[in-house]
């Protein structure tokens, strides 16, 4: 990627897209193209084709898509499937048609089977049943992963790059208690409990499941690294994680400390825990020379600071 290459960041208002835009700008890239959803609805094939025809981007980071937590996934599976498949399908096809040099697509760790051996390796894809609540989203993401592979194979190119980040967190995340991912929901819960002077806070499950989280700016760095090292990549997907996991209990303790909540943390064991562990094996990508640099405490401090400074926006996004 040259500093003046035309780089389209799809989904620049989101968690990953905003981190990508920030990193690209700070690395001196000047040709960044972004469009809001109102300006360009990526589920519309004609809008996407017109955009690629007019803008002729050289590189694309496809960080646009519909994401959400357990409740949203369970309530709107058809919307999750339709939105994500349409966006991928339209953008992949236009990228091929208008000769994009490289495109980075993002899968998700929920593409791996519910009973996946740990650590989860790239070759575990499609080796078992996936978790029911995120089935539609996971199938859409699997379609994208296979899509990248298929376009590369059929058109004898290495244009399409498929990365599978584990759960991300950071500034510009969604802090809605129903729609958000676990870390942003925890930050908001602890913050509100502190402000309301609550003596205790009750969290779902036993707190024992272990999860891996990665700061959005580390995924942005990994994505830029992948673009620059596309020649070294094989025609397959790559896991992107930190290699370190924490129990939900440990994460709750860290967040309560950062937020400054000193009440009791109770666990509602009538609520489901989900898989006991979800840790990616990212060695294939790490062996190419990339490494994550943000530890969880630092990343969560930055995220909480952003939440405090943008509490109105965070609530508006949530609505
Ligand atoms: N968050 C995670 O933990 C995680 C983990 C693994 C993979 N991923 C994948 O990484 C990508 C980025 O995730 P994220 O968490 O950054 O998502 P996000 O914060 O929800 O942002 C999604 C972005 O996509 C845009 N968008 C949604 N529908 C669109 C449409 N029809 N047309 C144009 N733009 C549209 C949104 O625009 P608006 O602002 O207008 O809504 C927003 O900018 C997604 O593909 C996701 O599946 C995420």
Q: d(Cα 25, Cα 253) in Å, to the nearest integer?
A: 35
Tell me what percent of the residues of the chain surpass a pLDDT of 90. Answer: 89
- Tokens coding 190: 């602890």
State yes or no: cis peptide before 119, omega within 30 of 0: yes
Does 315 map to a domain? no
pLDDT at 180 > cutoff 80: no
* Ligand 1 pocket check for 63: Cβ under 6 Å: yes
* Ligand 1 pocket check for 66: Cβ under 6 Å: yes
Does 319 map to a domain? no
Does 206 map to a domain? no
What is the per-residue pLDDT for 269?
95
Does 190 map to a domain? no
Report the pLDDT averaged over residues 13-42: 98
**Do the beta carbons of residue 74 and residue 135 sit within 8 Å?**
no
> How many other β-carbons are positioned within 10 Å of the β-carbon of residue 63?
25
> The domain spanning residue 139 has which CATH number?
3.40.50.720
Radius of gyration (C-alpha) of the chain in whole angstroms? 19
Does 135 map to a domain? yes
Q: Kindly give the distance from the C-alpha atom of residue 68 to the centroid of ligand 1, in angstroms, as a whole number.
A: 9
Tell me the pairing of strands 210-211 and 246-247: antiparallel
pLDDT (tens digit per residue) in 125-145 = 999 999 998 999 999 999 999
* Ligand 1 pocket check for 64: Cβ under 6 Å: yes
What is the per-residue pLDDT for 316?
47
Least trusted range by pLDDT, from 151-155, 168-172, 179-183, 259-263:
179-183
Q: d(Cα 5, Cα 248) in Å, to the nearest integer?
A: 42
* Ligand 1 pocket check for 47: Cβ under 6 Å: no
What is the per-residue pLDDT for 311?
85
- At 313, the pLDDT band (50, 70, 90 cuts) reads low
> How many other β-carbons are positioned within 10 Å of the β-carbon of residue 36?
10
pLDDT at 319 > cutoff 90: no
Which residue has a Cα nearest atom 33 of ligand 1? 37
What pTM, to 2 d.p., does this model score?
Answer: 0.96
Does 267 map to a domain? no
User: How far does Cα 142 stand from its chain's mean position?
Assistant: 14
Q: Kindly give the distance from the C-alpha atom of residue 65 to the centroid of ligand 1, in angstroms, as a whole number.
A: 4
* Ligand 1 pocket check for 108: Cβ under 6 Å: yes
* Closest ligand 1 atom number to CA of residue 107: 7
Active site residue 137: yes
* Stated length of the chain: 319
Does 146 map to a domain? yes
Based on the structure, what is the number of domains in the chain? 1
- Reported in sequence order, the residue ranges of the chain that DSSP labels E, i.e. its strands, are 7-10, 32-33, 59-62, 102-106, 160-165, 167-169, 200-204, 210-211, 213-215, 237-240, 246-247, 264-268, 277-278
> How many other β-carbons are positioned within 10 Å of the β-carbon of residue 290?
19
* Ligand 1 pocket check for 313: Cβ under 6 Å: no
Does 303 map to a domain? no
- At 28, the pLDDT band (50, 70, 90 cuts) reads very high
Q: d(Cα 37, Cα 48) in Å, to the nearest integer?
A: 11
Q: Kindly give the distance from the C-alpha atom of residue 201 to the centroid of ligand 1, in angstroms, as a whole number.
A: 30
Beta-carbon contacts of residue 272 (< 8 Å; ≥ 6 apart): 204, 205
Among 29, 59, 106, 137, the active-site one is: 137
**Do the beta carbons of residue 51 and residue 98 sit within 8 Å?**
no
Q: 116: domain range?
A: 7-174+213-244+277-294
Name beta bridge partners: 264: 200
pLDDT (tens digit per residue) in 250-300 = 999 999 999 999 999 999 999 888 888 999 999 999 999 999 999 999 999
């Amino acid at each position: 990627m040259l500093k003046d290459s035309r780089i389209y960041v799809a989904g620049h208002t989101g968690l990953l897209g905003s981190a990508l835009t920030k990193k690209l700008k700070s690395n001196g890239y000047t040709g960044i193209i972004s469009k809001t959803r109102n300006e360009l609805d990526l589920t519309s094939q004609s809008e996407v084709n017109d955009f690629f025809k007019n803008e002729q981007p050289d590189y694309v980071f496809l960080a646009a898509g519909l994401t959400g937590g357990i409740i949203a996934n369970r309530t709107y599976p058809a919307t999750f499937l339709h939105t994500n498949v349409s966006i991928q399908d339209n953008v992949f096809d236009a990228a091929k048609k208008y000769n994009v040099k490289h495109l980075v697509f993002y899968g998700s760790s929920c593409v791996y089977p519910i009973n996946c051996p740990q650590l989860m390796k790239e070759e575990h894809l499609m080796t078992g049943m996936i978790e029911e609540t995120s089935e539609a989203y996971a199938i859409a993401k699997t379609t994208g992963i296979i899509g990248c592979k298929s376009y590369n194979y059929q058109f004898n190119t290495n244009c399409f790059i498929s990365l599978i980040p584990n759960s991300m967190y950071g500034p510009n995340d969604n802090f809605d208690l129903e729609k958000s991912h676990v870390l942003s929901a925890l930050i908001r819960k602890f913050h509100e409990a502190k402000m309301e002077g609550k003596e205790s806070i009750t969290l779902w499950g036993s707190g024992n499941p272990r999860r891996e989280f990665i700061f959005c700016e580390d995924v942005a760095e990994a994505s830029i690294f992948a673009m620059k090292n596309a020649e070294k990549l094989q025609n397959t997907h790559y896991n992107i994680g930190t290699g370190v996991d924490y129990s939900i209990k440990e994460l709750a303790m860290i967040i309560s400390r950062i937020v400054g909540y000193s009440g009791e943390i109770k666990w509602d064991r009538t609520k489901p825990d989900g898989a006991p562990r979800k840790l990616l094996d990212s060695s294939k990508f790490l062996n190419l020379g990339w490494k994550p640099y943000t530890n969880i405490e630092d990343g969560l401090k930055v995220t909480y600071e952003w939440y405090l400074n943008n509490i109105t926006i965070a609530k508006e996004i949530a609505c």
